[in-house]
Amino acid sequence: MKFLDKLDKSILKIEEFILSASIIVIALMVCANVISRQFFGPSILFHAEVAKFAVVVSTFMGGISYAARKGRHISMSAIYDVVPWRLRKAMSIIIPLFTSIILFALAYISIDYVTGVYERGTTTTNLGIPLYIMYLFIPLGFIMGGIQYLRNLIMNIVKKEVYIGTDALDYNDVKPEDRDMEDEIHV
């Protein structure tokens, strides 16, 4: 179990690094392009390609799995919040099950897509990087997200409480005095 805990923490750190680095790259590329156009005239030729690559990486490699782990994914909770605890518990098992199935199906479909891009041999216009390299992050992200939702499913089967993420107890199960200030602010 210690090995799995260390592996899990390592994966979390990698996800956090990928998310942070990708967002920084996006910001730098957009700002540099604005400065380039404002003061020097032309745009940076490769800025859109690098920014697109960073968006794909942050969305699929970092975003899906990290949001599932932390319980920060988008959810429609109007019904979920008002149902009795037993029904919420059942929903906390059913929803991650179906979500993981969908993510694994999307991974399968995206692998087929990446294979097609690889076979066509298409590259980016300015940098000449094979597009399949960028698109490899899509099935990897779906697989990581599917695994994370399976972990959420297992957490809700094994634990008595309701979890919306492996690291996040359901908001309805946390006593108001135990909530962080961050959890109080929902937009």
pLDDT tens column, 30-78: 999 899 888 888 888 888 899 999 999 998 887 888 888 888 777 777 7
Encoded tokens for 120 = 């066509």
Q: At 168, which amino acid appears?
A: A
**pLDDT > 70 fraction of the chain, expressed in percent and rounded:** 91
DSSP the chain: -HHHHHHHHHHHHHHHHHHHHHHHHHHHHHHHHHHHHHHHSSPPTTHHHHHHHHHHIIIIIIIHHHHHHHT-S----TTTTTS-HHHHHHHHHHHHHHHHHHHHHHHHHHHHHHHHHHHHT-B-TTT--BHHHHHTHHHHHHHHHHHHHHHHHHHHHHSSS-EEETTEE-GGGS-GGG--HHHH---
Q: Are 66 and 15 in contact (CB under 8 A)?
A: yes
Question: Which pTM value belongs to this model?
Answer: 0.83
CA–CA distance, 92 with 21 (Å, rounded to integer)? 32
At 178 the pLDDT is: 55
Q: What is the mean pLDDT of residues 180-187?
A: 47
